[in-house]
Amino acid sequence: MKIYIREQMYDFKQCHDFLVKPLPETVYDIYVEDEDIEEFFISFFSELNQFPLYIIYEWYDFDFDGMKERLDKLHLIYSHKFIPQNSVCTITEQGDTYLDVLIFTVKVTDGNQLAEVVKKSLVPYHLFIISNQDNVTFGEMYDQEDSIQFKMNESTTFCKMQFDVPATYLVTNQFKNMNNLLASLSEKIKVVKENE
């Protein structure tokens, strides 16, 4: 598997759709081919070995019962919430109806659970986060500046996929430079470093 990675400065106003407080030490912009993104998440966080991990993802509101059934079969601890938004609506006889965004948060305690949840829940163009801490909160509306917030401390590491572009952000206070990060990656991952 080949990944492209570059270090960048965190700047919410320019290119990030999430808030991090306090500001993170390092943000890496990672590009992985679509067919390899599952493998990257599973490999990186398995090697990190800082369970439990928290997987937060957007799911189809019409398949709420289906996802609950899948998670129950895996005997996982999870929660869900519906968050209002003002961007996507459906037209009904009563007028436009805005659809709430369905978010699941799942706690995984080992590599097998991690692989199962990633394979069942990773959907292109949907919010997807893996964090080594239970540190994600949501604002009152899904499409506002404070809609996704992360609380950082000295040992925080999380990955977040973008909504509408094929990019993943690795935000970390553990790997303060590229050499530290590269040393933590599996030998299966071939890294191509890019300039900012």
Q: Which residues pair with 28 in a beta bridge?
A: 7, 170
Q: Higher model confidence: residue 178 or residue 87?
A: 178
Any idea of the CA torsion for 114, 122, 35, 185, to the nearest 10 degrees? Answer: -40
What distance, in Å, lies between the first and last C-alpha atoms of the chain? 22
- 41-45: average pLDDT: 94
Residue 110 pLDDT greater than 90, yes or no: yes
Among residues 195, 196, 146, 155, the alpha carbon closest in space to that of 174 is found at: 155
Report how far residue 84's alpha carbon sits from residue 110's, in angstroms, rounded to the nearest whole number.
32
Q: What is the pLDDT of residues 135-158, one digit of tens each?
A: 999 988 887 777 889 999 999 999
Which single residue is written with the structure tokens 């994600």?
Answer: 136
- Report the largest interatomic distance among the alpha carbons of the chain, rounded to a whole angstrom: 58
Question: Under 8 Å CB-to-CB from 6, ≥6 apart: which residues?
Answer: 28, 29, 193, 194, 195, 196
Give the residue from 173, 188, 196, 171 showing the smallest Cα distance to 40: 188
For the whole model, what pTM was predicted?
A: 0.90
